[in-house]
């Protein structure tokens, strides 16, 4: 049995030993392992909970564990820390960033808001952003609750939606609310094109196309369903179709194959490759997860003033999306 403070040198010789040791460390640290749907299969398989940003936010808010090993990208682990200041939040690889989050630096957003003070923007930020951007926002949303959050925005305010222009455009279509959109995007989802998805659909003409709202308009137009990764699971479970084309980061297919067995999930291709992988999500590995629990690092730390300012819009989201 491992205990805190005891030197626990890795003794692994294979994947099974590593998985076993991660389990022992997890118990010793009183840790919970949260993994995003886009993580590599080996990490999804050791997680206590696998989900999208909204589900993971709830789990992070609810957990009794003292340590959260967050297997996702930096802004996700940061979000877990914002709502759990007393807990230690670990990220297997501190360099696991996000092109979308980086497209909206807090200083640029602050300068934009200052330049457009006359607009008195109500700022809605997709959760894929830094703590600095969250702190400048009125409310946060995820792809799973964006419609609800935007629909609940005050009618007498101009809305600025950051940082994903594609998700923002999709929410405008769904809600009819006008919003100004920050021109950011996810480098993975914009790789899907009408041509690449049209081609795979020709091969599987009876397969419904399920696409993430971060995809460009031309791809969303081809989709039978546009939804968050969490809703993809329920859509695929309920669909009578055997073949289903999934247009999002390829890690999602592992979860779908596990939770909806007996169906053929086809990864949506891009114009360059047969599936799309996020290089940031794939930076986390079992070895790094093990090392993080062993060394209790890398750890997410935040200035308390910033944390409090970033927490308010997240709590507003959790409240509004119940």
Residue from 110, 157, 158, 112 nearest 133 by CA: 110
Number of amino acids touching ligand SF4 (CB under 6 A): 13
Q: Which stretch binds ligand SF4 (CB under 6 A): 22-30, 61-69, 192-200, 275-283?
A: 275-283
- The reply on whether position 143 binds ligand SF4 by CB under 6 A is no
Q: Which of 99, 228, 284, 321 binds ligand SF4 (CB under 6 A)?
A: 99
Contact at 8 Å (CB) between 236 and 210? yes
* Pairing mode, strands 122-126 and 159-162: parallel
According to CB under 6 A, which one of 98, 140, 252, 266 is a site residue for ligand SF4? 98
Does residue 37 bind ligand SF4 (CB under 6 A)? no
50 is a contact residue toward ligand SF4 (CB under 6 A):
no
Which positions from 177 to 206 touch ligand SF4 by CB under 6 A, shown as an x/- string? Answer: ---------xxx------------------
Q: Is 129 in the site for ligand SF4 (CB under 6 A)?
A: no
Q: How far is the CB of 142 from ligand SF4 (least distance, A)?
A: 11
CB 124 within 8 A of CB 149: yes
State the DSSP code for 138. S
Which residues are bridge partners to 50 per DSSP? Answer: 35
Nearest-angstrom CA–CA distance, 230 and 214: 14
Give the SS3 label for residue 209: strand
Cβ distance to ligand SF4 smaller for residue 243 or 277: 277
- Work out whether the CA dihedral 138, 144, 146, 152 comes out positive or negative: negative
Closest-CA residue to 162 (of 144, 147, 190, 183):
183
Assess 73 for contact with ligand SF4 (CB under 6 A): yes
280 near ligand SF4, judged by CB under 6 A: yes
Binding interface with ligand SF4 (CB under 6 A): 38, 73, 98-100, 128, 186-188, 249, 278, 280-281
């Amino acid at each position: 049995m491992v205990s805190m403070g005891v030197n626990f040198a890795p003794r692994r010789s294979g994947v099974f030993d590593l998985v076993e040791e991660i389990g022992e460390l997890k118990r010793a640290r009183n840790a919970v392992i949260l993994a995003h749907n886009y993580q590599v299969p080996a990490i999804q398989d050791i997680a206590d909970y696998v989900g999208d940003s909204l589900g993971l936010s709830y789990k992070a808010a609810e957990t009794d564990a003292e340590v959260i090993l967050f297997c996702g990208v930096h802004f996700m682990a940061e979000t877990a820390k914002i709502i759990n200041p007393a807990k230690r939040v670990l990220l297997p690889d501190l360099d696991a960033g996000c092109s979308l989050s980086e497209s909206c630096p807090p200083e640029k957003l602050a300068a934009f808001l200052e330049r457009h003070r006359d607009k008195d923007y109500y700022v809605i930020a997709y959760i894929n952003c830094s703590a600095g951007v969250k702190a400048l926002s009125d409310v946060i949303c995820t792809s799973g609750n964006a419609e609800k959050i935007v629909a609940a925005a005050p009618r007498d305010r101009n809305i600025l939606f950051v940082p994903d222009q594609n998700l923002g455009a999709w929410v405008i279509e769904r809600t009819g609310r006008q919003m100004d959109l920050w021109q950011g995007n996810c480098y993975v989802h914009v790789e899907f094109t009408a041509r690449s998805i049209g081609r795979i659909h020709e091969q599987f003409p009876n397969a419904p196309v399920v696409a993430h709202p971060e995809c460009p308009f031309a791809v969303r137009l081809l989709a039978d369903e546009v939804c968050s990764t969490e809703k993809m699971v329920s859509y695929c479970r309920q669909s009578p179709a055997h073949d289903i084309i999934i247009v999002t980061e390829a890690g999602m297919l592992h979860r779908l194959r596990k939770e909806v067995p007996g169906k053929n999930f086809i990864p949506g291709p891009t114009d360059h490759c047969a599936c799309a992988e996020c290089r940031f999500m794939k930076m986390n590995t079992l070895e790094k997860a093990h090392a993080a629990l062993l060394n209790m690092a890398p750890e997410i730390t935040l200035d308390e003033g910033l944390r409090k300012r970033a927490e308010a819009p997240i709590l507003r989201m959790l409240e509004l999306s119940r």
